Amino acid sequence: MSEDVTGIVVPIHLDYTYTPGVAASRFLRHIAEGNYVGQRCPKCKKVYVPPRGSCPTCGVPTDEEVELKQTGTITAFCIVNIPFAGQAVECPYVSATIQLDGADIGFYHLIQEIPYDQIHIGMRVEAVWKPREEWGTTTESIAHFKPTDA
Amino acid sequence: MANPCAIIGIGQTKHDTKREDCSQIDLVREAAKRALEDAGLTWRDIDAVVIGKAPDTFEGVMMPELFLADALGAVGKPMLRVHTAGSVGGSTALVAASLIQAGVHDRVLTVAYEKQSESDAMWALAMKIPFSPPLVAGAGGYFAPHIRKYIAQSKAPDDIGIKVAVKDRLNGVKNPYAHLHLPNITYEEVRDSLMLWDPIRYLETCPSSDGACAMVLASESASNAPTRPAWVHGGAMRSEPTMFAGRDEVNPIAGQECARDVYKQAGISDPRKEFDAAEIYVPFSWFEAMWMENLHFAPIGDGWKMTDTGATAIDGDMPINPSGGVMCSNPIGASGMLRFAEAAMQVRGQAGEHQIDGARLALGHAYGGGSQYYAMWVVGSEKP
């Protein structure tokens, strides 16, 4: 007796060589030194961090570098409770968009050191860095963000 | 001035978690054959095929349109694939319509599908971005913060998402093709379901479906069909960058402008008053309230009131997703075309148990990516 074969599982594996580009490379080298450095648009004056090398609104290069404070505000967040294939952070975790003081756009990072039900939009947070020897050209050099008053 | 475009044939599959009874080929043919049958045509009558689906990682098959060309009768004919993420079903229909409106072809078959069970869309949408923490958790993880922002800004009661979820699931019971049939769903059941991406609960989330949708679009001279056609009164697409300083992710400019454009083409000044039905892309229930504002059905901050007062119910003054919508069936690549097709079914009087009596004008809407692609059409029972 044999069962009909209606499908087979074929795993796929992808290896990427990722080139971050000039602006992101500069940003990541600054991160490896413990600094958040964005870029300001010469036209609309908006500060992008991470910088993209050009302003998506004005379409002009953003050459001027701006060192930012490591404090900011939560602009939005969610609490992730769903496990999924390839997940690297243990559930539940809080994924938030954080806009650093002096920046005009937010980026995603983890919020910790506070009960999740006390987190709110508008909350003031600061970067918590990993031990110096773990810094590298990645925003994973920052372990997470925590409330400024915590 | 563009030539008139008629929708003369519509078909869809039974949507389900796993259509293990069929291959991708069978799936697209199931929808296409129903559309041809509805149009009273055969494969031979078709001039060109326009196909759409979401990212190839959703099935793990690169450029499936190549091996589907034969199955869709496209050998020796023009075939084109469209890709605009979740909005692709809508933009595929609009590309097909443009071939009619430009006078290039008389009968175009357009098809959109997804067979989500063949890969893992959650994995495909949660790949680690290099040099940053691995925080992205699928579409829900991306959209949940936007929903939280909407709730905070609009001061909506926190159960609007629950009410939409119940309404759409009860509508879906009236739709024989819907993936989810949950006739006994209750407010309490949705409220008590697992919080997946707080503030989004499990039952406030669309399912993961296998399914396809197809339509036959025709020029005026080719518009005779067994069932009276629907007519395209306007079609528009817009896009915007995923990230720019000052972007409003809750009420994106691209969506607002796409709606204004398509209403202008159709001569609509008050969408809530003039549309008899709308099928809009709501993958997480809160998006009904958000899109009511983005689509100018309600003033900013008031979209949730339409749900709360029952206006968006199937017997309300502005029925939204009488088919059950994406909340009941989400074969991603097909979901946008299903919205377009269900809008056309309404104005053709073909919607069966979920038919809005006497519907003459309807909106089909799709969005995709990080709320950065929009596709919409207005269809009517009369030739424009």
Nearest to B223 by CA among B334, B117, B88, B381: B381
Partners of B134 on chain A (C-beta within 8 Å) are 87-89
What is the reported pLDDT for B1?
60
Query: What is the amino acid identity at position B159?
Result: D
Residues shown for chain B:
384
What is the reported pLDDT for B138?
82
pTM (2 decimals)?
0.96
Inter-chain touch B128–A88, beta carbons under 8 Å: yes
* pLDDT, mean of residues B342-359: 98
Residue A7 lies in a domain: no
Residue A1 lies in a domain: no
Angle between the B88-101 and B332-348 helix axes, to the nearest 10 degrees? 50
In Å, how far is A113's CA from the nearest CA of chain B? Answer: 17
Ramachandran area for residue B371 (φ above 0: left; ψ -120 to 50: alpha; else beta): left
User: Which tokens hold the place of A115?
Assistant: 């009960």
- Cα torsion at B16, B18, B20, B24 (round to 10°)? 80
What is the reported pLDDT for B135?
81
* pLDDT, mean of residues B26-43: 98
Nearest to B284 by CA among B142, B189, B184: B142
Partners of A57 on chain B (C-beta within 8 Å) are 244-246
Query: What is the amino acid identity at position B90?
Result: G
Give the DSSP H or E segment for B190: helix B187-191
**Residue-wise pLDDT tens digits, A81-97:** 988 777 778 889 999 99
What is the reported pLDDT for B33?
98
Residue written as token pair 């006390």? A118
The residues near B181 (Cβ < 8 Å, ≥ 6 apart) are B172, B173, B328
Q: What are phi and psi of B59, to 5 degrees?
A: -115, -15
Is the Cβ–Cβ distance between B55 and B124 less than 8 Å?
Answer: yes
In Å, how far is A95's CA from the nearest CA of chain B? Answer: 6
**Residue-wise pLDDT tens digits, B77-99:** 999 999 999 999 999 999 999 99
The number of distinct structural domains making up chain A is 1
**Residue-wise pLDDT tens digits, B267-316:** 999 999 999 999 999 999 999 999 999 999 999 999 999 999 999 999 99
Q: Which residue of A has its CA nearest to B20?
A: A6
Q: How confident is the model at residue A1 (pLDDT cuts 50, 70, 90)?
A: low
- Which domain, by its residues, includes A88? 22-147
Inter-chain touch A110–B140, beta carbons under 8 Å: no
What is the reported pLDDT for A110?
94
Is the Cβ–Cβ distance between A92 and A81 less than 8 Å?
Answer: yes
What is the reported pLDDT for B73?
96
Is the Cβ–Cβ distance between B234 and A47 less than 8 Å?
Answer: no
Whether the pLDDT of residue B20 is over 80: the answer is yes
Domain residues of chain B, as ranges?
5-121+209-222
* pLDDT, mean of residues B340-369: 98
Q: How confident is the model at residue B44 (pLDDT cuts 50, 70, 90)?
A: very high
Strands lying side by side in the sheet with A64-68: A47-48, A36-40, A64-68
Residue B284 to residues B162, B280, B330, Cα–Cα distance (Å):
10, 12, 11
Is the Cβ–Cβ distance between B384 and B233 less than 8 Å?
Answer: yes
Q: Which CATH class is domain B5-121+209-222?
A: alpha beta
Can you tell me the ipTM of this complex? 0.91
Is the Cβ–Cβ distance between A72 and B145 less than 8 Å?
Answer: no
Q: How confident is the model at residue B146 (pLDDT cuts 50, 70, 90)?
A: very high
Residue written as token pair 């709360």? B308
> Could you give the percent of chain B with pLDDT greater than 90?
90
Whether the pLDDT of residue B124 is over 90: the answer is no
What is the reported pLDDT for B148?
97
**Residue-wise pLDDT tens digits, A88-145:** 788 899 999 999 999 999 999 999 999 999 999 999 999 999 999 999 999 999 999 9
Partners of A77 on chain B (C-beta within 8 Å) are 145, 148
User: Which tokens hold the place of A41?
Assistant: 């648009």
In Å, how far is A2's CA from the nearest CA of chain B? Answer: 18
Inter-chain touch A81–B141, beta carbons under 8 Å: no
What is the reported pLDDT for A3?
79
Is the Cβ–Cβ distance between B217 and B100 less than 8 Å?
Answer: yes
Partners of B210 on chain A (C-beta within 8 Å) are none
Partners of B199 on chain A (C-beta within 8 Å) are 78
Q: How confident is the model at residue B130 (pLDDT cuts 50, 70, 90)?
A: confident
Inter-chain touch A84–B138, beta carbons under 8 Å: yes
Chain B contact probe: residue of A15, A74, A80, A90 with most B CBs at under 10 A: A80
Q: Give the helix, strand, coil percentages of chain A, each rounded to 5.
A: 15, 35, 55
Quote the mean pLDDT of chain A.
92
In Å, how far is A17's CA from the nearest CA of chain B? Answer: 10
What is the reported pLDDT for B348?
98
What is the reported pLDDT for B65?
94
